[in-house]
Structure 1
Amino acid sequence: MLDSGLYEQLHKALWVQKKLSETVARHWVTTEYQGLTLSSHFQPIFSISHRRPVGYEGLLRASTDSGALIPPPAVLVLPNNSKENLELDRACRQLHLQNFARQETGDCWLFLNLNSQCLVTEQPDAGFMNRLFETTGIHPSRLVIEILESEITDRSYLKQLIKHFRSLGCLIAIDDFGAGHSNFDRIWELEPDIVKIDRSLVQEAGKSSRVERILTGIVSLIHEAGSLVVLEGVETRREALVSIAANADMVQGFYFAKPQQLISSNHEEFVSVIDELLQHQQRQRFKNTHQINENFRKIERLFKRAINHFSVTQNFEESSEILFAEKRSVRCYLLDDAGYQMARNIYSPHYQQTMDVRFTPLLSGDNANWSHKHYHFRAVQHPGQMQLSRPYLSVADSRMCITVSQTVTSSDKQFVFCCDLDWQDN
């Protein structure tokens, strides 16, 4: 049983929420278009680090007089020309801004999709947006204009379009990046404030660790270009974990919240969800680190034996054979302190059975210099200490590997003894 004080607080909170819903409903804006009633729904865009919504995407909803729902794509094909397209686009922008302004949204952004196709022939008008900002009271800095850059082939005009909305004070987001023919050169050239990565890439990353690495790399490149990243269409727990691991700034999708007409001020559910995901990731990292340490204890023992054997005998091939007792060992190679390869690659018998002859030009290390590789640099910087690289794609055979390396002194000369370990997804 609830005590009376707690019961009164709960009753008051429910009453306030009910009154707010009734107030919003009375002032809710709809518009008529070709016999359809258009209205707004809003889907939260959550910041992972802040554990709360930082924006909402305005989404179109349409219904007939009988209440039947019409999919948004079916509405967007109703206009007959670019002028009618622009009229519909403006009607949607006005609708979303007015309904967004009628709710408690703090300082959150409103993300609006822009029909880029209609603006190819119909030039944007600053007066229309400025009137909307004035009538709704929403500052331009709270508006994020989403542009599907693949719809506009004229780069010069696309830049002008972005410049126009930036001059109003809005932020720019590139939408659906990673779908269709999206190119990174658009990111360097257009310098968007935010890049929204398409659902298809997130979905594939949830199924494949290889695609997950690609997604992480894409997020990193976009960050290097100076843009924030939203992963949209996150629908499963696995995809949510992938989004966090990829270092995305924000997430959007059914797993966290579905589009709703009324914007809720209660975000405790998301806080609990994101906290559980972050805790899971921390546990997984600890588990992975522990497992890697367990796996490489045997490698460490073998590597120390190989190092000691080489320092005494200077027989690199015999020393390498010691490491091939571990089936993951692929190849051994010897570098000098300047990174030049001092002997041919010695391949494990296990690996020779699966060697891909298509990469024959890369298999020989004769006259190679590896001083630019992290495993050489770190070994030279920390003499006598075994170094373990992160997984990377080896240029020697185009396979994922990890390199174990360490400096060793023999006959008053310093070498870097290296061993590549197979690190495929399986």
Structure 2
Amino acid sequence: MIDAQAPELPAIESAFQPVLSLAHGAAVGYEALLRARQGQASCSPEQAFRLAREAGRYGEYERRCTRHHLRRFLQFADDESVLFLNLHPDVLADPVHGAALADDLLESGVSPGRVVLEVLEARQDTPSALVDAVDRLRSYGFLIALDDFGAGLTNLGRVWDLRPDVVKLDRELICKAVSSYRNARSLLRLVDLLHDIGTFIVVEGIETEEQAKLSADCDADFVQGYYFGRPTIDLEAVTAASNVVPSALDDQLTDSRKLRRIGDLDELMPYRHAFGLFRDAWCSGVAVEQAARHFLACQWALRVFVLDDTGRQVGENIESDRHDPWRRSTFPLLARSSGANWSKRSYFRDALVRPGETIVSEPYMSSSSKNLCVTLSTYVTVDGRGFVLGGDILFEALCRMLA
């Protein structure tokens, strides 16, 4: 169904790619993608819109594409499916074409609650106008998405300004996240952060089973990519792929080893054992330097330290002498640990509320050596006084074993 109303501009056809909910094993909706032709030759979306811009008809062409996508969507979609539409921020903020686009959408026959307007990753010279346009479209009931988060200009500032219902993560994030445990955990934290802001998360560019499993481990809401279905102009093929999640994922959505909880890592068992020896020796009156020898003998152990029950450090760190190449220069003041207040650290707070247990922290940056580390901690009492013992492990090195 080629749009031939504007022969001097590339002809328009719509391809659709499913956006799937892994929890339901089905498509929550479809992204409409431009498939254009210039004469007898295919024309990339970038080329098509470049030609429209050079002709001074970018807004008009964007609206033609949108109307075509909407007409095609109505030919196959059921009553629950939503349509994801890519829109350039310049068109949304344009006083003429932005308003006309809203009218086109409202007159399409698709209810606003079933249309997700994806704001493309592009510079916008009047950001306040874009915010106003998005607010107006939201007032009509349309859902708002931000495309390609993590690439270029689509950042947290834009999320806070536009308050989208959906954030689509750039495909480079999942590609890099599968390369290491550390990257995978960073992706998990990013998804957690965006969920805290109040958005659904789509991981784009899924091409492998490993990427699909990691997306599930990160608690992404939706996924999209060639692994689940390629964009197609064949409407029967679109609907046929809508309820198909590869069987390999049916019972394995959280089976990936990429995101084992830190506290569950088998690789930490020797550190836990040695930390217990440190605790027992120190509580029996052995000097901290001598008590720490078993722990500091572990391959990636960095240091031990003692805090009082207010979080103030008692004495200096007892450092391993094996990891000087990993130490990075930092502010000189931070090298003085005695008397520093660590009461806000999670390893201290968690140890206080779970006395006697060995707590395993999440990875964080050590201020004394600027390394990513994991801290083992425990609350003990000696002669009626409470203390928290801590032992740091070089996470940057440990996580290389987990890739």
**TM exceeds 0.5?**
yes
Moved more, 251-260 or 163-172: 163-172
Q: Which amino acid aligns with 2:244?
A: E
Of the two structures, which has the highest relative contact order with CA contacts closer than 8 Å and spacing of 6 or more?
A: 2
What's the offset of the Cα at 1:154? 1.5
Does the residue aligned with 1:113 lie in a helix, a strand or coil?
A: strand
Match of 2:365 among 393, 402, 405: 393
Please give the alpha-carbon distance, in whole angstroms, between the structure 2 residues aligned to 1:65 and 1:383: 75
Aligned to 1:25: none
The alignment's TM-score, normalised by the length of structure 1, stands at 0.84
Alignment of 1:374-389 (within 5 A): 374-389=346-361
Q: How does 1:237-276 map to 2 (within 5 A)?
A: 237-261=209-233, 262=235, 263-270=238-245, 272-275=247-250
Q: Which amino acid aligns with 1:411?
A: D
1:268 Cα offset (Å): 4.8
Matches within 5 A, 1:35-184: 36-66=10-40, 68-80=41-53, 84-124=57-97, 126=99, 129-130=102-103, 133-134=106-107, 136-148=108-120, 150-184=122-156
Mind listing any 5+ residue stretches in structure 1 that lack a counterpart? 1-27
Q: Is the 8 A contact 1:32 1:38 kept in 2?
A: no
The 1:274/1:30 distance shift into structure 2, 3 A limit, reads farther
Letter aligned with residue 381 of structure 2: T
Separation (CA, whole Å) in 2 of partners of 1:63 and 1:98: 19
**Distance in 2 of aligned mates of 1:413 and 1:89:** 71
Q: Shift of the alpha carbon at 1:90?
A: 0.9
Tell me how far apart the structure 1 counterparts of residues 193 and 36 of structure 2 sit (CA, whole Å). Answer: 38
Instruction: Note the aligned Cα RMSD (angstroms).
Output: 2.6
Q: TM-score, normalised by structure 2?
A: 0.89
Give 1:8's aligned residue. Answer: none
d(CA) in 1 for partners of 2:286, 2:262: 36
Q: Please tell me whether Structure 1 or Structure 2 has the larger radius of gyration of its CA atoms.
A: 1
- The AA in structure 1 aligned to 2:14 is S
Matched residues, number = 394
List per-residue Cα deviations over 1:143-181 (Å, max 9, x = no partner).
111112643131210111102212322111111221113
Which of 310, 326, 344 in structure 2 is aligned with 1:372?
344
Q: Could you tell me how far apart the structure 2 residues matched to 1:100 and 1:369 are?
A: 60
Identity %, equivalent residues: 32
Deviation at 1:121, TM superposition (A): 4.3
Distance in 2 between residues matched to 1:370 and 1:378, nearest whole Å: 12
Richer in helix (by share) = 1
SS in 1 for 2:79: coil
Partner SS state of residue 151, structure 1 = coil
Matched AA of 1:45: V
Q: Does 1:423 align with 2:395?
A: yes
Letter in 2 for 1:227: T
Q: Distance between the aligned counterparts of 1:358 and 1:126, measured in 2?
A: 53
Separation in 1, partners of 2:263, 2:53:
59
- Contact between 1:45 and 1:252, CA under 8 Å: does it hold in 2? yes
Pair 1:303 & 2:275 matched: yes
**1:101 offset after TM fit, Å?**
0.3
Which residue matches 1:362?
Answer: 334
Q: Which runs of 5+ in 2 are unaligned?
A: none
When structure 1 is superposed on structure 2, of 84-93 and 378-387 the one drifting more is 378-387
